[in-house]
Each structure stands twice: as structure tokens, then as C-alpha cells.
Amino acid sequence: MDVRKILNMTDHTLLRVGCTKKEIADLCEEAVAYHCAAVCVPPGFISYAKECIGGRNNVKVGATAGFPNGYNTPQIKAAEAAEAKENGADEVDMVINVSLVKDREWEKVKEEILLVRAACDGLVLKVILETCLLTEEEKIKLCQIVTECKADYIKTSTGFSSGGATVDDVKLLKEHVGQGVKVKAAGGIRTLEDAQAMIDAGASRVGASSIVKAARESGYRP
């Protein structure tokens, strides 16, 4: 197991309600020290996280839109994405409206993603499906839509619903997503072994709050 490689593919995440400025600062320092891909923080902390990281070790700042339930209107999600860009975010993780999926309103799902894509033009866009709420057919259809919308990543989960990433879901998304779209696994990934399993299944990014701690407890030092 290559711990450094896992860390390089990890979005070090803190989206808990009530997190503090000091916790965000600590998150950023850990991400820099352990060479993580990015931090993912609440919208109100984007500017502060950008300041804390200061461009060190090429760690990116990730923001959220429509998080965690995804039932905001498309215009609100787009506004969140635009503001995130203005505040210095490098990446945006948006949550789709699962109700639209259940009603098979595929064009509306597509329109929503395209609206957010346009609002954060130039940033990395990750589209969160919340796979634990979806059928296999719905997941496959969403792979097609996310590909058509030219998002950069399709992401399994928020980590705030009834389930998180699974190896089977990562494999399914990897198999059906189009060329140029990567897979991010998130939700319930707590150990280095969990992260490695997702990477082996095809994930290019892992979103987790515990991987740096797991690496440190394993004896790894950057």
C-alpha cells in the first residue's frame, strides 16, 4: 500500500455543522503537510482556507453547492458555485436533485448541471449522485448525463445520507462514465484500506475526513 499516493488522491474534508475556524486552519495545515489533493470546506470558509493554504504544495480548495440534500433550485446552486469561484475556490462539488432523478426529469437534471458548470467555468466540477438512494439504472443514466455535461468528476456520495461509497458503485461508475470524467469516492471512507479499495476499484479521488489521521496512526510521516 502506497500511503503517499493515497494522500495525494485525498480531498481532506471538514463539512461538519459547527466546525470552527481553528479546525479549518488545522485541516489546511494537515492537507499541506501530508500533500493532499485538496481540502473541502463549507462555503463560508473558502476565503479563509485559501489564505491558510497560501498555494503551498499545490493543495486546492474545494467548495460545495446544494450540499448536502441537493434540493436547492438550480439558480441557487449556480449562485453558490459562482460565489465560491469569486472567493477563491479551485473546485466545486455539487449535489444533484435526487427528486428529479426519481421523476425521470433527465433534461432538468442536465440543465441544472450545465448551469452550475457555466457558473464555475474554469474550476473543477464534481457532480455528487448520492448513490445509496439510486437504482443501478439511475446511476448508469446519470453517468451518461454527467459525461454529456463535461463535468470533471462523478462522485458517489455526500457522506450525509443513509450510505456512502461502495466498491461496487465505484466500479459501476467507472465502467459507465465517459472519457474524460473521473470518479470520486466519498462517504464512510475511514481507513487506509478503505481508501485503497476505492482506488483499486477505479476512483481517482477519495473524499474523507479521517485518512490523514489514519496515515499518521500507521506511522507514516511525510
Q: Kindly list the catalytic residues.
A: 93, 155, 184
Whose CA is closest to 191, among 172, 217, 171?
Answer: 217
Q: Give the span between the Cα atoms of 8 and 24, in whole angstroms.
A: 19
Q: Give the span between the Cα atoms of 216 and 11, in whole angstroms.
A: 16
Residues in the chain, total? 222
At 138, which helix (H) or strand (E)?
helix 136-148
Question: In which region does residue 189 sit, left (phi positive, over 0), alpha (psi from -120 to 50) or beta (all else)?
Answer: beta
